[in-house]
């Protein structure tokens, strides 16, 4: 049985960890709040920029609509909050890293730092890829296949939800190299297995792309091809970061 002194030390250690976690969460939340306050005056302009890929491809005379009374006010504020999270994400991840890093081994820290940075950059790249390339192509296709006599007028809230879903999906899909390295690091797959599974990765990429993207072949290819290339990047990263026979330094 644990002695009273040991139980007291465990409780104090848990309490100190909870206090540190609260402090990290407060700092991350304050960062998001400050960025949000700075963005609120620009909320309508942010929504105009977000809607640009669709508005540019609407038929002449068509426009976005608001079907709810509060939508013109609430929807831009929701977008401002999403953008604030997007901008503050480096600080949020830093606070998370500062909380968990003391419990990691040195070799784990050496691997986690580049993975964390790569995950953030790849997520941003996925969102940018969706906004600048995929959404214009998808909206061009949807505008072209709209039946005659049907006015293409999208609700502003539904449009925001759709675009945020696309950003999140493409951001996650661009995390393929990070996922590959993590799977190899925990021993789930080997480098040889990754190299021999390319054909399955290609099939999986096209299946995921067909499920996520709008119903046009162009958008599907525009997601599947980068995923295949990112898989190859992940294989190269495994060969570079996880060299066979490398010294597993367990010292803290």
Q: Return the structure tokens found at 61.
A: 């005379």
For residues 219 and 200, give the distance between their C-alpha atoms in angstroms, rounded to a whole number.
21
Give the up-direction half-sphere exposure of residue 187: CA atoms within 13 A in the CB hemisphere: 0
Backbone φ/ψ region at 15: left (φ over 0), alpha (ψ -120 to 50), beta: alpha
Question: For 116-124, which contacts have Cβ atoms below 8 Å and span 24 or more sequence positions?
Answer: 118/177, 118/178, 119/175, 119/178, 120/89, 120/90, 120/93, 122/171, 122/174, 122/175, 122/177, 122/178, 122/230, 123/89, 123/171, 123/172, 123/174, 123/175, 124/86, 124/171
Q: What digits encode the pLDDT tens for the residues 175-195?
A: 999 999 999 988 899 989 999
pLDDT for residue 6: 56
Which residue positions in the chain have pLDDT lower than 70? Answer: 1-13, 243-252
For residues 156 and 75, give the distance between their C-alpha atoms in angstroms, rounded to a whole number.
7
pLDDT for residue 108: 81
Token match 């006010």: residue? 73
SS3 72: helix
Q: Return the structure tokens found at 110.
A: 């050496």
Closest CA to 185 of 99, 105, 123, 252: 105
Q: Return the structure tokens found at 245.
A: 């026979």
Q: End-to-end CA distance of the chain, in Å?
A: 29
């Amino acid at each position: 049985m644990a002695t009273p002194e040991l139980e007291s030390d465990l409780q104090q250690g848990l309490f100190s960890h909870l206090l540190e976690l609260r402090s990290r969460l407060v700092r991350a939340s304050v960062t998001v709040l400050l960025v949000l306050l700075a963005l609120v005056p620009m909320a309508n302009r942010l929504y105009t920029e977000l809607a640009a890929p669709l508005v540019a491809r609407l038929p002449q005379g068509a426009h976005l609509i608001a079907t709810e009374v509060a939508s013109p006010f609430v929807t831009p504020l929701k977008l401002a909050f999403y953008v604030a999270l997007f901008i503050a994400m480096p600080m949020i991840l830093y606070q998370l890293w500062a909380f968990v890093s003391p419990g990691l081994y040195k070799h784990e820290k050496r691997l986690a730092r580049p993975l964390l940075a790569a995950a953030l950059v790849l997520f941003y790249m996925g969102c940018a890829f969706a906004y600048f390339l995929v959404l214009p192509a998808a909206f061009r296709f949807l505008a072209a296949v709209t039946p005659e006599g049907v006015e293409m007028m999208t609700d502003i809230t539904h449009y925001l939800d759709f675009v945020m879903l696309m950003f999140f999906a493409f951001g996650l899909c661009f995390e393929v190299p990070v996922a590959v390295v993590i799977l190899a690091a925990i021993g789930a797959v080997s480098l040889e297995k990754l190299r021999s599974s390319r054909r399955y990765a290609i099939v999986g990429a096209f299946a995921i792309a067909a499920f996520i993207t709008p119903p046009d072949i162009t958008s599907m290819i525009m997601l599947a091809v980068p995923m295949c290339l990112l898989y190859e990047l992940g294989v190269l990263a495994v060969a570079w970061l996880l060299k066979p026979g490398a010294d597993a330094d367990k010292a803290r």
